[in-house]
Chains A and B, each alone.
Chain A
Amino acid sequence: GAGVSQSPSNKVTEKGKDVELRCDPISGHTALYWYRQRLGQGLEFLIYFQGNSAPDKSGLPSDRFSAERTGESVSTLTIQRTQQEDSAVYLCASSLVRYEQYFGPGTRLTVT
């Protein structure tokens, strides 16, 4: 594909519901990253995939957050029992290992 794509672009959900965010990386990129960007704040690292495994999950803020990657391609970030503080833009990036990361447009999540 031309670049990293994410879906949905916007998601509004009620507090307590579960949400799934999807990332399609650039074909052939073995590394995939999830970040969160709260309004007016810098990006926060959430999780890093190398292939289908996640050697670094240190940024996941709570056990309500999980992510998986299949086929060394698409990844989903799942947030269970969403809270208002989960409202943010969730960005995905992909790269060849140790090379420049290419970011997707993000999913704007609003928890009401």
Chain B
Amino acid sequence: KNQVEQSPQSLIILEGKNCTLQCNYTVSPFSNLRWYKQDTGRGPVSLTIMTFSENTKSNGRYTATLDADTKQSSLHITASQLSDSASYICVVIRWGGGNKLTFGTGTQLKVEL
């Protein structure tokens, strides 16, 4: 079983709408959680980094939340744009793990007109 589970696997929304992506993890002990955006054919690019003590962090139209007690995170995208079409990957780093990342399988988001 993957230690980082994401849902939904894929999502199609209309431009201008909001959406929320989910991430559940079992990685322990927890160090920090990151959301990455990966455009087709490109490497992942970091959107947010959240440590144990942080509950929410925003980066423009992206807002990430973290509940370290329930081991859940979400990424909320507001006023979606066509350029938001990409794979969104939840990544968890284990404390003492040498900065090794454990990746979720991603949510493939498509924004349509």
Contact = CB atoms under 8 A, between A and B. Distances in A.
A106 B103 contact: no
A22 to B, nearest CB: 15
Given A41-B105, A42-B89, A42-B106, A98 B99 contact: yes
A12 interface: no
B13 interface: no
Nearest to A106: B43
- Say what secondary structure dominates the interface of chain A: strand
A31 B105 contact: no
A65 B103 CA distance: 21
Interface in B3-39: 4, 34
A42 B99 CA distance: 18
B2 A48 contact: no
A43 B44 contact: yes
Contact of B45 (A95, A99, A103, A106): A103
Contacts of B4: 42
A48 B98 contact: yes
B104 A42 contact: yes
Contact of B103 (A42, A50, A97, A102): A42
Interface of B: 2, 4, 34, 41-46, 49, 89, 98-106
Given A91-B43, A98-B99, 9 more contacts: A4-B43, A33-B100, A42-B103, A45-B101, A45-B102, A48-B98, A95-B99, A101-B101, A105-B43
9 contacts: A42-B2, A42-B89, A45-B100, A45-B101, A93-B43, A100-B46, A101-B101, A103-B44, A105-B43
